[in-house]
Amino acid sequence: MKMKMMKIRNFQHAKNGAPFLSNKNAQIKIQETAFVLLAIALLAVLLFIFYSRFQVGNIQTAVQAINQETAKSMLGKIAAMPELSCSGLGSENALCIDKDKASILSKAKGYEKFWQNVAKIELVPIYPESPRITIYSGKEGNATYSTFINLCSQKADVWSCAIGKVLITI
C-alpha cells in the first residue's frame, strides 16, 4: 500500500515538476485569498447600498421640507400678484383675489413655468358657494396646502366678495 502511494506521488512529481502537496497548499491559499477578496467586495457593496439608501432618504426628506416651505411662502405671495390681486380696490386690496382676473389668468398662455415646483393652484369659494377656479394644473402633486382669502369680483364700480380658500398642491 505504502509502495503504491509512493508511486502515485512520484507520478505527480514527474508530471508537474513541482511537489504535489505544496501545489495543493498554494491552491488552497489562492482560494482563501479569493474568498477574502469576495467577502471584502460584498461588504463594500452592502455598505454602499446601505449608505445610498440613507442618503436618498435624507435628500427626499430635505426636498419634502423645501417643497412644504415653497407652498407656504407661495400662499402668502399669491394674493399680491398683480395678475390676481384686487388692484381696483386700492389700499383695501390686501389678501383679496379678483375672481375675474383669476378666470382670465387660468386661460392665459406663457405662465406654465411661472408657477415653478407647484402642481396645482385652485380657488374655492366657500361662502357663498360657487364653482372652483383652477388657475393652474400641471403635474401630479403629493400634498395640498391652503389658506383663507377674500374672493371678490367687480360689477361696474361695485365689488362683491366671498369667503374662499386658495389651494396649492406641491
Partner 1 sequence: MKRGQFEFNWLFALILGAVILFLAIFFAGKLINTSQYQGSAEIVREFDILLNPFASVGAVGTITLAKEVSMPSEILINVSCSSDGLGKNGVAVAQKSGSKFKELTPEYAIYNKYIFGENLQGKSFYIFGMPFEMPFRIDDLIYVVSEDYCFVDAPQKIRDDISILNTSKIVSRSSTAQCSPESKRVCFSDMNGCSMSVYCDDIGCEQGTAVKAGKVYFYKKSLMYAAVFSDVSVYRCNLKRLLARADSISDIYQQKSYRLAADCEMYGINNALAAFKSEVASLKSSLSPDPRTIVTEANKLDNENNIARCPIY
Q: Which residues bind partner 1 (CB under 8 A)?
A: 22, 26, 29, 33, 37, 40, 44, 55, 59, 62, 66, 69-70, 73-74, 76-77, 80-83, 85, 87-88, 98, 100-101, 104-105, 108, 110-111, 113-116, 154-157
Angle of CA points 23, 28, 40, to nearest 5°: 140
Nearer to partner 1, 6 or 37 (CB): 37
Nearer to partner 1, 18 or 126 (CB): 18
Q: From the CB of 28, what's the least distance to partner 1, in Å?
A: 11
- What DSSP line would sit under 78-136, residue for residue? HTT-TTTB-GGGGGG-TTEEEHHHHHHHHH-SS-TGGGTT--EEEEEEEETT---EEEE
Residue 156 DSSP one-character state: T
How far is Cα 89 from Cα 82, in angstroms, rounded to an integer?
12
Q: From the CB of 162, what's the least distance to partner 1, in Å?
A: 17
Q: From the CB of 55, what's the least distance to partner 1, in Å?
A: 8
Q: Distance between the two ends of the chain, CA-based, in angstroms?
A: 85
Name residue 49's beta-bridge partners. Answer: none
Nearer to partner 1, 14 or 156 (CB): 156
Phi-psi region of 32 (alpha: psi -120 to 50; beta: other; left: phi over 0): alpha
Residue 141 DSSP one-character state: -
Nearer to partner 1, 5 or 82 (CB): 82
Q: From the CB of 26, what's the least distance to partner 1, in Å?
A: 8
Q: In terms of Cα–Cα distance, which of 117, 110, 104 is closest to 74?
A: 117
Nearer to partner 1, 69 or 129 (CB): 69
Q: From the CB of 62, what's the least distance to partner 1, in Å?
A: 6
